[in-house]
Amino acid sequence: CMSEEKNLTYLVDTVDVPVESGYQVKITGRSPIGVFKLGDNFYAIDDTCTHGNFSLCEGLIFDGQVECSLHAGAFDIRTGAATDLPCVIPLKTYPVTVKDGKVYADIDNAE
């Protein structure tokens, strides 16, 4: 991995991330990020579906994936891969750090 120093941005408290869907974080000057929880792990991915302009945090989580509510496409929350049509373009994912009950991500360094 990169040895560069991470530039961590606070996203949300761990207790505020729902289990069944994502938590949308609006960030000035860029598209929003979705924080998702799978088991004990947290993931930060682009919140905007790559098929249309729709928030994935409005969709439901199933099998480690999030289903877009607009046309029922889906993405793997861990990798950002598009897993169901009509979605074909992957989402960007961001390295997450959890510390003292807070979720941070390096939002300038998509993986």
Task: By CB under 6 A, name the binding residues for ligand FES.
Answer: 49, 51-52, 54, 68, 70-71, 73, 86-87
In the complex, the smallest distance separating the C-beta of residue 70 from ligand FES, rounded to whole angstroms, is 4
Position 11, amino acid: L
Largest CA distance in the chain: 39
DSSP-based three-state secondary structure for 108: coil
Number of neighbouring beta carbons within 10 Å of residue 42: 21
In the complex, the smallest distance separating the C-beta of residue 64 from ligand FES, rounded to whole angstroms, is 18
- Angstrom CA distances, 89 to 2, 53, 73, stand at 24, 13, 11
Nearer to ligand FES, 51 or 78 (CB): 51
Nearer to ligand FES, 35 or 91 (CB): 91
Nearer to ligand FES, 22 or 103 (CB): 22
DSSP-based three-state secondary structure for 9: strand
Nearer to ligand FES, 87 or 96 (CB): 87
In the complex, the smallest distance separating the C-beta of residue 8 from ligand FES, rounded to whole angstroms, is 29
